[in-house]
A and B are shown apart, each in its own frame.
Chain A
Amino acid sequence: DVQLVESGGGLVQPGGSLRLSCAASGFSFSSYSMNWVRQGPGKGLEWISYIGSTGYTIYYADSVKGRFTLSRDNAKNSLYLQINSLRAEDTAVYYCARDAPPALDYWGQGTLVTVSS
């Protein structure tokens, strides 16, 4: 079965940094592009980043561009999101999701990032 497991969330002060991870299993990770989508408390879904299967093609939403860095390690079946200069509005559950155009077909359970002093 396809599994995506996020980790690395937590409480961080404004201006701080975190590194989120997404461990994939049950499919050929190196063959799929991946995404991160976040959801603020009581809010809707916001797509934030995409990475191609080889890691060379990366896109970011304007809201995170310049502060977030997406990478992957296909040898470890893992996806990483480095998030810097955190703001209160970055507080959210962060999901990794497999890209199976034309949609996101598998999602992890998410990891909570809380930005607060």
Chain B
Amino acid sequence: DIAMTQSPATLSMSPGERATLSCRASQSVSTNLAWYQQKPGQAPRLLIFTASTRAPGIPARFSGSGSGTEFTLTISSLQSEDFAVYYCQQYNNWPTYSFGQGTKLEIK
């Protein structure tokens, strides 16, 4: 099984700052990686797929990068609505998936 590890567990930042979230796979997943955002009491929302492609309707301030085992989600200038939990997910073993444990992005 492919294990996904996200860091940091919690990231405290201020609106307007640039946020960088990391995700590491236990073995190469090529670019078969997605990112999701989840707010309290809501379902996850797809942000990024194939490591760097924004899903429809996702603002340009969200960007993804990486390949193999190291991936990054960057939010260029944090807005108040961006404070949430973010999960990475690999689908290299599609149709079985695995998620990282999440990074909570909180207001400093």
Q: How far is the CB of A50 from chain B (nearest CB, A)?
A: 4
A46 CB contacts on chain B under 8 angstroms: 99
The answer to whether A102 touches B95, judged by C-beta atoms less than 8 angstroms apart, is no
* Pair count A-B, CB < 8 A: 65
User: Would you call B32 an interface residue if the criterion is a C-beta within 8 Å of the partner chain's C-beta atoms?
Assistant: yes
Pick from B87, B91, B97: contact of A44, CB below 8 A.
B87
B43 CB contacts on chain A under 8 angstroms: 95, 107-110
Chain A contact residue count (CB 8 A cutoff): 24
What are some 11 contacts across the A-B interface (CB < 8 A)? A44-B99, A44-B102, A45-B89, A45-B99, A47-B96, A47-B98, A47-B99, A52-B95, A61-B96, A105-B55, A108-B43
Q: Give residues in B with beta carbon < 8 Å to A.
A: 32, 34, 36, 38, 42-46, 49-50, 55, 87, 89, 91, 94-102
